[in-house]
Amino acid sequence: MPRNWATFGGDLHLDLGGGSRRAGLERALRDAIRAGRLTPATRLPSTRALAAELGLARNTVSAAYDQLVAEGYLAARHGSGTVVAGLPPAPRPASSKTEPEGAAPRYDLRPGSPDVSTFPTTAWLRSLRRALATAPASRYDYDTPAGTHELRTVLSEYLGRARGVLASPDRIVVTSGYVQALALLAGLVDGPIATEDPGLAFHRELIRRHGHGVLPIPVDEHGVRTDLLSTRERAVLVTPAHQYPTGATLAPDRRHALTEWAAATDGLIIEDDYDGEFRYDRQPVGALQGMAPDRVVYVGTASKTLGPALRLAWMVLPAHLVEPVTEAKRYADAHTESLGQLALADLIATHGYDRHVRACRLRYRRRRDLLVARLGRRHPLGGIAAGLHAMITLPAGGPTESEVLATAADRGLAVGELGSHWHTAGTGAGERPQGIIVGYGTPPERGYLAALDTLARVLRGG
C-alpha cells in the first residue's frame, strides 16, 4: 500500500546518509539534538510511524531509540512515548561576558518609544476578532499595495478630525512602519534632501543609502530655519509639530515660508508627525499638510501611540505621487500585512484608538510633570509642551555630555545623547550646545520615579 505523505505525521528532516541504517538513524538524531533542532521535551514519533516514514524496519528504529536512551539523548516515558532529554548547556568560552551584549539597562530613559506595557491588549483582541469574524475569505489573499480599503477609509476621517490633514482614502498608502515610508519617498526624489540639524542620524543614513546627498538645515527655538533653504534641495524632511530632538514647534511664519519654498522650487516637504497626538500645555498644532496638500507628504505611524511592533504607518500623498509610491511599494514588499490593518481600522472606527490616546496623554502628562518637578529647577528643559521626550542642555563648565553619559551608564541608566544628532561630529569648539535627551514614554510606570531620581543624582555629579 503506497504511503500517504499528505497526511503523514511531523517531519524530522533526518538525513541517514550511507552505511548502516541503524547507525545512520542514531547519528542523525544525535546531531539534531546537539544542534538544537530537536529541543528538550520534544516528543518523537512512535517507532511504527518513524519506521514507515523512513522505510526502515520497526526493530531498527526501536534499537536506535534504545541506544540513544542509554546514552542520555532520549527519555522513554511510560504512556508518553519517547521524548528528547534535557542536555547540560554547552560550556561558555572563557572570554564571554556575564551580561549579554545589548542587555537592557536597569533604568531606561532613552527616547523613541512609548510605554509598550500600556498596549491596549484587550481592545486590540476585540477589534481583531470583529475584523476576522466579518472579513471575507479574500482578505487572506494578496491585497493592493496601498493598503486595505477599511484602514485607509477610517484614517481619512481620523486624520482630518484629529490632525487637520486633508486626506481622501485614495491619497493614502499604508506602509510597514515609518522607515519604509521614508525609504519609498527617498527612492523617488531626484536630488539632495535637506534634513533638520540636529536630527535623527538614522534617517540621514537611510537617505544616503538611496544615493542622495543630505543637506543640513539648522534648527532654533522656532523650528527649522526655512530662510536657509535654496533651490539645491529637492525635498526637506521636517518634524514641525514637535521637532526631534529639540522639541521646538515650527512657527507660523516659517510654516508659510516652507510651503512657499516648495511651491517656488517644485520641492517636496516630508512631514514626520511621529508623536503629534501628544500635547500638554498648548492647543494642538495641526499638520502642516493641511496648508499645502499638493506639496506635503504627511507621514504618521502607530509606533508612538500603540507600539513599534505593529509596523504600521501611513502616508498621505499629493495626487501626482500616489501612483509612483504605490508602484514602489508593490516592488518593496507587495503590501503590508492585512490582518493588523483590519484590527487597527476597527480600533479607530469604534473609538478605542481615541480612548487609548487620551489615556496615554494623561499618563505622559503626569510623567512630564514629574520630570519638571525633579529636574526643572536646576536644569533647562526643552520641548516639554508636547511629545514623549525632553532635551536637557548641559551648562558650560560642568560635566560634558560624554561624562554624563558614562556616569549614567555606570548607574544602569540609559538616556539619549544629543551629540550624535548633529550632521557633523563634535561640538564645533563650543558653538553647539551639549545635552542629553530624556524619553519619558519608554520606562514602565513602576520604574519611572527611580529612573528620574537616578538621573538627578547623575546630573548633580553624585
Residue closest to 165 by CA, chosen among 296, 339, 34 = 296
107-114+361-459 folds as Aspartate Aminotransferase, domain 1 (3.90.1150)
pLDDT tens over the chain, length 462 residues: 444 444 444 567 777 877 788 888 888 888 888 888 888 988 888 889 888 888 889 999 999 998 888 888 999 877 778 989 877 665 555 544 444 555 778 999 999 889 999 999 999 999 999 999 999 999 999 999 999 999 999 999 999 999 999 999 999 999 999 999 999 999 999 999 999 999 999 999 999 999 899 999 999 999 999 999 999 999 999 999 999 999 999 999 999 999 999 999 999 999 999 887 888 876 778 899 999 999 999 999 999 999 999 999 999 999 999 999 999 999 999 999 999 999 999 999 999 999 999 999 999 999 999 999 999 888 889 888 888 999 999 988 888 999 999 999 999 999 999 999 999 764 443 468 889 999 988 887 788 999 999 999 999 875
Query: How are the residues of the chain apportioned to helix, strand and coil, as percentages rounded to the nearest 5?
Result: 45, 15, 40
C-alpha to C-alpha distance for 173 and 351, rounded to whole angstroms: 22
Q: How many H-runs (helices) and E-runs (strands) does the chain carry? A: 13, 15
What are the E-state strand segments in 13-70? none
74 contacts 85 by C-beta, under 8 angstroms: yes
287 contacts 273 by C-beta, under 8 angstroms: yes
Helix axes 352-375, 121-134, angle to 10 degrees: 160
Within 8 A by CB and 6+ apart from 117, the residues are 444, 445
C-alpha to C-alpha distance for 276 and 181, rounded to whole angstroms: 17
Q: Is the fold of 107-114+361-459 the same as that of 118-353? A: no
Grid cell digits, residue 156: 481619512
CA end-to-end span of the chain, whole Å?
80
Q: Give the pLDDT of residue 292.
A: 96
Please report, for the chain, the start and end positions of each structural domain, with discontinuous segments joined by +: 5-84, 107-114+361-459, 118-353
* Residue appearing with cell numbers 514626520: 272
Query: Architecture of 5-84 per CATH?
Result: Orthogonal Bundle (1.10)
Radius of gyration of the chain (CA): 28
CATH class, range 118-353:
alpha beta
DSSP string, 257-279: HHHHHHHHHT-EEEEE-TTTT-B
